[in-house]
């Protein structure tokens, strides 16, 4: 770390790049693997841009597939940063204050992945100009899609600028002025709820799709987000604790587990409430749920997917709730991983695809992502992990060198 008097905005960016280009042999191999995955994603997307969306598994009936499924799930992961921001900045919890920057880094990576999934779902890059206000056909404020673009970009800006200001102040050896960033922290808390509710309204406001036209959809979006997001943050903190000199206090994991358990239980209650509504007295509006859980007309591709999701979700929640390992990482971390994957399965393809099947004319088809969609998705996840890695690595170096008593 260079002398304090030599540090400025230019050296800040130079040092961030330098720190991330350095590292152990294992870290460099990890970077190369991510670059390979991103290269595969770029190749697959170039194939899609050349031949169009016909190279995907989507069709006239299933017009939203793997891309929008991942987008929907990752919006929740991004919103979950608020579960660290609230106790850290509002209630001044010292444990969460040490790790809130990490949560915001995860949120930035998730938001970049969200916006990238929207871009690739458009088909070709020339369609992206429609997303630009004034220039494109934005249809604001009547279009919920336009609202979604605005709230996602606004939340990305807030989650990038607030920690950037704090880290830059610490990099300069100064304490960040709370009066300058505190209003934006409160705004980001409101914005975190808005990005997920607006995304839920996008589906909920479609009366021709009864599977989504459900008043519980918005609250369940929040509950699942506040379970899956902190579960992912727990895994990230565990990796940091075990692979760096930045140690995370056990109390942080205990508090995160409580947040995850409460949110996961609420999510399961609402999920089983929806299942009861669909199957206790089924109507023709229950067709999508029947297709998802039991198949229809011989089409059963999602049946093992959703039952696996529900069972793993329930099992992971029970393990976290009853805590048989007494916060033993060998029990806590696998449970968080399984819960995260189960919610991804249920809230991704398990939510989006059956909402489109059967069609309004009663047509039933199966949807499976093609190699193009899988490789593009792999590349986008590699991009998001790279962003998170760069942000967190720089943040940890700055925070470990910063002495609050010297400012």
Q: Over the chain, what HEC string results?
A: CCCHHHCCHHHHHHHHHHHHHCCCHHHHHHHHHHHHHHHHHHHHHHHHHHHCHHHCCCCCCCCCCHHHHHHHHHHHHHHCCHHHHHHHHHCCCHHHHCCHHHHHHHHHHHHHHHHHHHHHHCCCHHHHHHHCCCCCCCCCCCCHHHHHHHHHHHHHHHHHHHHHHHHHHHHCCCCCCHHHHHHHHHHHHHHHHHHHHHHHHHHHCCCCCCCCCCCCHHHHHHHHHHHHHHHHHHHHHHHHHHHCCCCCCHHHHHHHHHHHHHHHHHHHHHHHHHHHHHHHCCCHHHHHHHHHHHCECCECCCHHHHHHHHHHHHHHHHHHHHCCCCCCHHHHHHHHHHHHHHHHHHHCHHHHCHHHCCCCCCCCCCCCCCHHHHHHHHHHHHHHHHHHHHHHHHHHHHHHHCCHHHC
| CA angle, 353 then 118 then 303, to 5° | 15
pLDDT tens per residue, range 90-117: 888 888 888 888 999 999 999 999 999 9
209: confidence class by pLDDT, cuts 50, 70, 90? confident
Given this model, what pLDDT does residue 182 score?
86
- Residues 301 and 304: their CA atoms lie apart, in Å, by 7
Domain count, the chain: 1
238: confidence class by pLDDT, cuts 50, 70, 90? very high
Say which CATH number the domain at 344 has.
1.20.1630.10
Given this model, what pLDDT does residue 1 score?
64
* 8 Å CB contact between 99 and 84: yes
Residue 332 has pLDDT above 80, yes or no: yes
- For the entire predicted model, the pTM comes to 0.92
Looking up tokens 């260079």 gives 2
pLDDT tens per residue, range 144-196: 888 888 888 899 998 899 889 999 998 888 888 888 888 888 888 888 888 88
- Residues 130 and 144: their CA atoms lie apart, in Å, by 14
Given this model, what pLDDT does residue 403 score?
58
Could you give the percent of the chain with pLDDT greater than 90? Answer: 43
Q: Which two tokens stand for residue 59?
A: 């069709």
* 8 Å CB contact between 8 and 377: no
Given this model, what pLDDT does residue 239 score?
92
Residue 407 has pLDDT above 60, yes or no: no
C-alpha pair distances (Å), 97 with each of 87, 100, 162, 271, 405: 8, 5, 14, 33, 16
Residue 203 has pLDDT above 80, yes or no: yes
Residue 376 has pLDDT above 90, yes or no: yes
Report CA torsion sign: 267, 273, 276, 277. negative
* 8 Å CB contact between 90 and 96: no
Lowest mean pLDDT among 32-36, 214-218, 236-240, 310-314: 214-218
pLDDT tens per residue, range 4-51: 777 888 888 988 999 888 888 888 899 999 999 999 999 999 999 998
pLDDT tens per residue, range 288-327: 999 999 999 888 889 999 999 999 999 999 999 988 766 7
Residue 81 has pLDDT above 90, yes or no: no
Domain housing 392: 4-406
- Residues 308 and 325: their CA atoms lie apart, in Å, by 24
| CA angle, 142 then 203 then 116, to 5° | 85
Given this model, what pLDDT does residue 112 score?
94
Given this model, what pLDDT does residue 310 score?
95
């Amino acid at each position: 770390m260079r002398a304090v008097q030599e540090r400025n905005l230019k050296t800040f960016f130079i040092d961030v790049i330098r720190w991330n280009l350095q590292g152990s042999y294992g870290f460099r191999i990890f970077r190369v693997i991510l670059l390979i995955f991103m290269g595969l994603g770029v190749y697959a997307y170039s194939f899609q841009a050349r031949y169009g969306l016909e190279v995907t598994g989507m069709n006239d009936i299933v017009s939203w597939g793997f891309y929008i499924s991942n987008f929907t799930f990752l919006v929740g992961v991004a919103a979950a940063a608020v579960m660290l921001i609230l106790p850290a900045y509002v209630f001044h919890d010292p444990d969460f204050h040490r790790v809130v920057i990490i949560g915001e880094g995860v949120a930035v990576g998730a938001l970049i992945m969200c916006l990238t999934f929207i871009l690739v779902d458009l088909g070709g890059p020339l369609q992206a100009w429609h997303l630009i206000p004034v220039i494109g056909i934005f249809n604001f404020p009547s279009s919920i899609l336009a609202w979604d673009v605005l709230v996602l970009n606004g939340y990305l800006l807030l989650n990038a600028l607030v920690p950037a200001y704090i880290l830059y102040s610490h990099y300069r050896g100064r304490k960040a002025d709370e009066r300058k960033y505190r209003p934006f922290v409160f705004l980001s808390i409101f914005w975190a709820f808005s990005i997920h509710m607006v995304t839920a309204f996008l589906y909920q406001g479609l009366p021709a799709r009864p599977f989504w036209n459900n008043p519980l959809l918005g609250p369940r979006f929040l509950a699942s987000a506040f379970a899956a997001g902190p579960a992912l943050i727990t895994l990230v903190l565990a990796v940091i604790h075990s692979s760096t000199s930045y140690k995370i206090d056990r109390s942080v994991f205990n508090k995160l587990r409580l947040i995850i358990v409460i949110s996961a239980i609420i999510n399961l209650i609402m999920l089983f409430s929806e299942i009861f509504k669909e199957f206790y007295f089924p109507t023709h509006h229950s067709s999508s749920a029947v297709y998802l859980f039991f198949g229809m007309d011989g089409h059963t591709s999602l049946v093992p997917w959703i039952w696996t999701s529900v069972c793993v979700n329930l099992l992971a929640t029970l393990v976290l709730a009853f805590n048989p390992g007494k916060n033993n990482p060998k029990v806590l971390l696998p449970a968080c991983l399984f819960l995260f994957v189960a919610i991804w399965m249920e809230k991704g393809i398990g939510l989006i695809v059956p909402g489109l099947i059967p069609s309004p004319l009663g047509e039933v088809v199966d949807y499976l992502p093609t190699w193009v969609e899988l490789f593009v998705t792999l590349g986008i996840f590699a991009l998001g992990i790279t962003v998170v890695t760069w942000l967190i690595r720089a943040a940890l170096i700055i925070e470990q060198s910063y002495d609050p008593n010297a400012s």
